[in-house]
Structure 1
Amino acid sequence: MNTTHQGQSKQTALITGAAGGIGYQLACIFAAHDYNLVLVDRNGVKLVEIAIKFQEEFGNLVTNIVKDLSISTAPEEIFTELQLANIKVDVLVNNAGFGIYGLFHETDLATELEMLQVNLVCLTHLTKLFVKGMVEQGEGKILNVASAAAFQPGPLMAVYFATKAYILSFSEAIANELEDTGVTVTVLCPGSTESAFHERTGMAGSKLLKGKKMMDAKTVAEVGYHALMKGKTIVIPGFVNKLLAKSVRFVPRKLVTKIVRNMQEDK
């Protein structure tokens, strides 16, 4: 754990997957709003660069934790490190996640098990660890990053879509349970977003993305941040994404699945 300190702010936000994409943009927003930060990512070099940048620009207390969240012990290790450092987390942002593209019977099992650990198990574990303290103190905020993929099955990314559906359902359920505790849960469901995600998954050439203009990560992060501050439960950035998410409820599931398959294909 590495801490960079120049000044003191009132609350602390923990953000996973903070080295790039939506996670990095969320970190920028929290820094600009005078939060202390706990940044978690496996890219330690990038985290150091970010901490120095935030120190120079905003004077934040930035704590870097370099962890591979696909390892099952990572959430408990993060929680223990922060307890030992006497750092209280007021806002938990479960942003880390990745996908894999291809037919389920052909994709790599080890990679998919790691994806389940990062996207689903780690998110649940971290939420479990930190939410108790939030309830005890009578305040706290949790932002879980799902996807517009959460609203329908996703052939060619079957496991990824399923993990996002879990995040949506889980977040809605505990948001209900936490009513009147002072703790709110927001689930952010962005559509396709400009980031390295699509190149890593191997779906950059799909009909869904080819030649399409995507929302930038900064805009998605801003929408998510403001929804979190307002205590909203579900936020879907972009009118078209909202429309698509709502419309699938009125179309037979088998047809929805066929449409998604067609959009995901690369020819």
Structure 2
Amino acid sequence: MEKPLSVAAIKALLSEIDYPLDERISIFQVDQRKGVVAALKTWEKRLEKQQLKEDKFKKMLQNEQAIWGRGLSFIAGIDEVGRGPLAGPVVAAAVILPKDFQILGINDSKQLSSEKREKFFIEIQEHALGIGIGIKDHSIIDDINIYQATKLAMLEAVQQLPQTPGYLLIDAMKLPTTIPQESLIKGDSKSLSIAAASIVAKVTRDRMMSEYDLLYPGYGFAQNAGYGTKIHLEGLAKLGVCPIHRHSFAPVRNTVNKKRF
């Protein structure tokens, strides 16, 4: 009688099996050893997560596929990061993905850990047909308001693309441009291109705020990215405003400037 595989050997095999109808699974399922039963449950959960990722990926490509089906290529997904913070710029990104883009797990940047954002940021840079970045700093935000500054950042992101897109998918905004466009509410959870843009914009801005944290310590910019957290508000009360604070935002406007910088 052939000796059964060890639990460790079965775990190793399961880590390589991605097909639910693999004939080896039926053999493992009759094995009553606790270690094998637990390993099968872990394997099933892994496949369930993988299927959810694949389903989400297909769903988030529906807008792009409909547009590609109309004969339009070079779809730019556009999103911004930084409308709510009390300090720093608003950053927009425009990303054109290829039709054969196959990286699973991309989602609204707010739904991802910083580690996953960094990973996807690198992969998007490697595979995207084009990436454009638009940045409008605190002074522009104060001059024309955050909504208009966001529009300018998005337009700049489109202009920075290496090619003119044939269509724009924009997260909850409409832009003054002749390029055909569609505004999607919560687009970063509905469109893969917009989600990719949200990741690029978020990582770009977070890196900028980490650099500002070195220049202007005491507000927690590396951790809060300029949002009005407790540490940030305490820093404002103690230190006053710094050169990248948005004076048109009430918590900053209401703070006595102690002229630290």
TM-score (normalizing by structure 1): 0.23
TM-score (normalizing by structure 2): 0.23
Q: Which has the higher contact order (CA 8 A, sep 6+)?
A: 2
